[in-house]
Amino acid sequence: MATKAAHKRLTREYATLQKNPVEYVQAAPAESNILEWHYVLTGPPQTSYTDGQYWGTLTFPPNYPFAPPAIRMHTPSGRFRCSERLCLSISDFHPKSFNPAWEVSTILLGVLSFMTSEEMTTGSISASEGERKAFAARSRWWNSTGGGSTSRTLEKSSLGSNSKGFGAIQAGDGGKRFREQFPELDAENWRWMEREGVDPQTGRKSVAAGEGSPSCTPEIDGLRRRGTEGSNAGLAQVVENGQAARDAGQGWLARNKLYLIAGALFAYAVMARLLSDQQPS
């Protein structure tokens, strides 16, 4: 239970955030517990996280602001392990370095700053730029469906019958906690899925009417957009894998056509030589 001082401080900070919003940051306490805050960070432009929607929690100690919160991020990002405590100078890993003057906005801006760096710590992971862009592309789908564990469907769907897409994560709460904390964002996310034709269960993206491109998951679509900006090892691997998949889909004759032609020519040359040797001189 929060002390009177902690309750007063967090109530004031919430009022300040509502009155003076911080760019790329949204945060609010849970209705049932003012020590449990939920936040959403929006990926800043010109980063690997552009337009990504990253949901996490701050768990404050009862004696806040004289001790820091535990910091977690739940949305897959390619930067942090999902739902694990992060070891930062502003987190509960380092209570002695925490400054009581720091507020919720300061803490979350610190998380965002660390996220866009390449420094490693407990709870962080390493990933390529392409992988992080792919996670950003599917973040809204992941938040509002619990990673595909929702039973909700789109009202107007032109999706195919394949229900085993790349993002078919069959675990979680179906987006219930995210929806409870951020109902407006959740509604926006579902409108986005409706508009883009993203299957809530699989994350697969359908082909819109009149478009000729094949369907793809949000994360693969992110890698496709990445391909227009430059090449990297991750994208090269995707291209190689795609070529291998196309080759595997061709028939045996098509794949071995050149070998068959070469073999026929060799056999013809051998037969011609044998016939020539058998003729009387």
pLDDT digits (tens, 9 = 90+) for 177-216: 999 999 999 999 999 999 999 999 988 887 553 344 443 3
The whole-model pTM stands at 0.71
Residue 257: pLDDT above 70? no
Choose, from 28, 67, 70, 87, the residue flagged as catalytic: 87
Rounded Cα distance, 122 and 118, in Å: 13
Neighbours of 115 (CB within 10 A): 24
Instruction: Identify the sign of the CA torsion 59, 65, 67, 72.
Output: positive
d(CA 66, CA 11): 16
Q: Is 82 a catalytic residue?
A: no
pLDDT, position 211 = 47
Sorted by where each starts, the structural domains of the chain and their CATH numbers stand as 4-115 (3.10.110.10), 130-208+215-226 (no CATH)
* Nearest of 200, 241, 201 to residue 220 by alpha carbon: 241
pLDDT at 100: 96
In the predicted model, is pLDDT for residue 158 greater than 80? no
Q: How far apart are CA 138 and CA 4, in angstroms?
A: 40
Q: What is the pLDDT of residues 113-139, one digit of tens each?
A: 999 999 999 999 999 999 999 999 999
Round to whole Å and give the CA distance between 118 and 48.
11
Segment 72-80 mean pLDDT = 96
Q: Inform me whether the pLDDT recorded for 1 exceeds 60.
A: yes
Residue 223: pLDDT over 60: no
Kindly report the average pLDDT of the chain as a whole number.
80
Find which of 187-191, 229-233, 267-271 is predicted with most confidence, using mean pLDDT: 187-191
Q: What residues contact residue 56 under an 8 Å CB cut-off, 6+ apart? A: 38, 39, 40, 41, 71, 72, 73, 74, 75, 111
- Could you give the CA distance from residue 186 to residue 126 in angstroms, rounded to a whole number? 29
